[in-house]
Amino acid sequence: MSTQPSHRTANVLTSEQRASYEKNGFIIVKRVVPLANLQSYEDRFQEICQRKNVPPGITIMRDVAIAKSEFVAGEKAVTKIQDFQTDPVLFSFCTLPQIVSIVEDIVGGSNIMAMHTMLINKPPDPGTLTSRHPMHQDQNFFPFRPADKICCAWTAMERMSRENGCLVVVPGSHKGPLLQHGYPKWEGGVNKLYHGIQEFDPNTPRVYAEMEAGDTIFFHPLLIHGSGANRTSGFRKAISCHYANSECEYFEVEGSSKAAAEEVVGIAKKRFGGDVEISYPDVWRVRARLVKGVRANL
């Protein structure tokens, strides 16, 4: 199957935006999500940090720098929430028409699945640089294809700058192959599943995606991206969803993707019980939720 974006006639995006996405692997659209919506996600995030009405299946992650500390609680203890597809407030982000319509333009068709959901709460870096996210390609974690029918919508919940660790992207890198990933050898430690490209050249030209609250970057799953350390005293929040055309198909992963798959399946078995037989596609079938149209293969 082709992993390169094919030209389509845009319905919401302008021809210039469509061409920019195909050339660079991403576009930033200003003021997509209203501030009132962002505040509702913030409020719900704070409730979850206090363990109020936490829905089943949600994953709450801690930064490696404080993972074993008993003295860090609330927002300071949570670096990321994943798999919020069962939470009505947070999942409402994934169904926003102004986001879904752009995703439809990018992935084609009108059968759209939300495959992976996250609210990222990048903490102030404690000096260990553990708040960084290594340069990576999201496709390394996805056992479904084709890549050009997958797209991430990543929305800034507040101003994103180089100081607080905005996204960093390598324009045009989505035209290349899926590269070998693994854990970087960082002295301060690495967060769970923060796999990065093993032979990434640090001199590679890149773009810092500085954004204002409500701005949204839409990007291809093969786009090389990451984020720097948060060098401010505040938290840096973003909310995101990976979408796929529901006609995508599951396949057997290999290489570094297989290593990631084994790690994820291991986590799932701990949650559901070690005797449960579960495959990597099964993990994604549980995560996936229909946003629009008909659920086909996913």
pLDDT in tens, 109-154: 889 999 999 999 998 988 888 888 999 999 999 999 999 999 999 9
Averaged pLDDT for residues 270-277: 76
Q: Which long-range contacts (CB under 8 A, 24 or more apart) does 177-183 make?
A: 177/3, 177/222, 178/3, 178/137, 178/139, 178/140, 178/222, 178/255, 178/257, 179/137, 179/224, 180/255, 180/256, 181/136, 181/137, 181/140, 181/256, 181/257, 181/259, 181/260, 182/256, 182/259
pLDDT at residue 128, as a whole number = 83
Higher pLDDT, 12 or 66: 12
Euclidean distance between CA atoms 253 and 140, whole angstroms: 9
pLDDT at residue 87, as a whole number = 97
Assess contact for 229 and 165: CB atoms under 8 A: yes
Contacts of 224 (CB under 8 A, 6+ apart): 135, 136, 137, 169, 170, 173, 179, 197, 200, 204
pTM tops 0.85, yes or no: yes
Assess contact for 13 and 105: CB atoms under 8 A: yes
Averaged pLDDT for residues 152-159: 98
Query: Domain locations in the chain?
Result: 15-292
Euclidean distance between CA atoms 48 and 246, whole angstroms: 30
Higher pLDDT, 276 or 254: 254
Averaged pLDDT for residues 72-97: 89
Averaged pLDDT for residues 196-213: 95
Model confidence band, residue 64 (pLDDT cutoffs 50, 70, 90): low
Averaged pLDDT for residues 173-186: 93
pLDDT at residue 73, as a whole number = 53
DSSP per-residue codes, 266-285: HHHHHHH-TT----HHHHHH
Q: Considering the chain, what percentage of its residues have pLDDT values greater than 90?
A: 72
CATH of domain 15-292: 2.60.120.620
Q: What is the mean pLDDT of the chain?
A: 90
Query: Distance between the two ends of the chain, CA-based, in angstroms?
Result: 16
Euclidean distance between CA atoms 207 and 24, whole angstroms: 11
